[in-house]
């Protein structure tokens, strides 16, 4: 018996060489430093999960790539005709470029939310059987949406050139604006992903909410066209200063207004911090509630 026990112990160690110990922590938060380091160490997991989700949507096929190009152009064309009819007059090529660029940025947010809201609930087996930072699941949805956004925005470049919109170094402002948009979107995606665990109707309500959000954001119109009585709508809309800054750079080739950039940063950081704290503090309950 004395010779069998050590051998059995060695066999068990071969399959349990790594042990994960969960200890109590304050207010449901794990040690933030080690959590962030582990999140960064496993960043490739989020990228590969995003690629897997894209492959399941036929992103890497010829027709998938073709639809990726045609779909945003059709959407922009439909909205352009709709706005043109409602305004009873031509808005011009410049407005089509404004509409197209704004829709591309908005659909990055929308696709992140629609994919991310199901990320935790649909990852039940992974959560139950593997120890990893759960924030990687909604982040992978943002990564997948960004992978879809990049080729669609490349379609916008010839439109920008054809319509004769300004080209200059001010266009480099699109990089920090896009970074702000990614931070904001990551926060919103973590928020809806965690909320879906507790309220399963969020995924059904989300398409209606995002559609209303589109109409309340200065994409189908210019921000300067909003009547004074509806200024409050832009003030409470966290996407409004981001899209306004985005449009100022693309439409006018100018530096985005400082107040819009500061407000956009405040919204992005505020939403991200609140959502990250809520998500991370609750993620240990996910396995119980799935």
Q: What is the pLDDT of residues 191-207, one digit of tens each?
A: 999 999 999 899 999 99
* Cα separation, 83 vs 139, whole angstroms: 34
pLDDT at 18: 57
Residue 165 lies in a domain: yes
Output the CA angle 103-105-107, nearest 5 degrees. Answer: 65
**Chain centre distance of CA 90:** 33
pLDDT digits 0-9 by tens, 58-95: 666 767 677 777 777 788 888 888 887 777 666 777 88
Coil, helix or strand at residue 36: helix
pLDDT at 5: 47
Residue 181 lies in a domain: yes
Take residue 84 and report the two structure tokens written for it: 């043109």
pLDDT at 285 over 70: yes
Is residue 127 within 8 A of residue 286, CB to CB? The reply is yes
Domain enclosing residue 80, as ranges = 31-289
| pTM of the predicted model as reported, rounded to 2 decimal places | 0.84
Residue 15 lies in a domain: no
Residue 130 lies in a domain: yes
Residue 238 lies in a domain: yes
Q: How many CB atoms lie within 10 A of CB 179?
A: 12
How many structural domains is the chain composed of?
1
């Amino acid at each position: 018996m004395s010779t069998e026990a050590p051998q059995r112990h060695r066999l068990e160690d071969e399959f349990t060489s790594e042990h994960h110990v969960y200890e109590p922590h304050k207010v449901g938060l794990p040690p933030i430093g080690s959590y962030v380091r582990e999140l960064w160490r496993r960043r490739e997991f989020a990228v590969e999960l995003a690629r897997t989700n894209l492959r399941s949507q036929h992103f890497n096929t010829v027709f998938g790539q073709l639809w990726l190009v045609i779909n945003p152009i059709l959407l922009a064309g439909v909205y352009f005709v709709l706005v043109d009819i409602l305004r009873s007059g031509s808005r011009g090529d410049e407005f089509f470029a404004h509409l197209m660029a704004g829709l591309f940025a908005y659909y990055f947010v929308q696709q992140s939310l629609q994919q991310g809201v199901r990320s935790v609930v649909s990852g039940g087996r992974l959560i139950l059987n593997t120890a990893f930072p759960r924030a990687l699941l909604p982040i992978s949805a943002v990564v997948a949406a960004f992978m879809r956004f990049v080729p669609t925005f490349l379609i916008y470049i010839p439109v920008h050139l054809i319509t004769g919109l300004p080209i200059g170094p001010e266009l480099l402002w699109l990089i920090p604006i896009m970074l702000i948009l990614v931070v904001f979107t990551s926060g919103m995606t973590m928020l809806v992903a965690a909320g879906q665990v507790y309220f399963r109707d969020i995924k059904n309500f989300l398409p209606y909410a995002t559609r209303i959000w589109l109409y309340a954001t200065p994409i189908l119109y210019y921000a300067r066209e909003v009547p004074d009585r509806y200024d409050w709508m832009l003030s409470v809309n966290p996407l409004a200063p981001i899209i306004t800054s985005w449009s100022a750079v693309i439409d006018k080739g100018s530096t985005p207004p400082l107040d819009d950039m500061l407000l956009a940063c405040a919204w992005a950081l505020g939403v991200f911090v609140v959502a990250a704290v809520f998500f991370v503090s609750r993620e240990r309950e996910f396995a119980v509630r799935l």
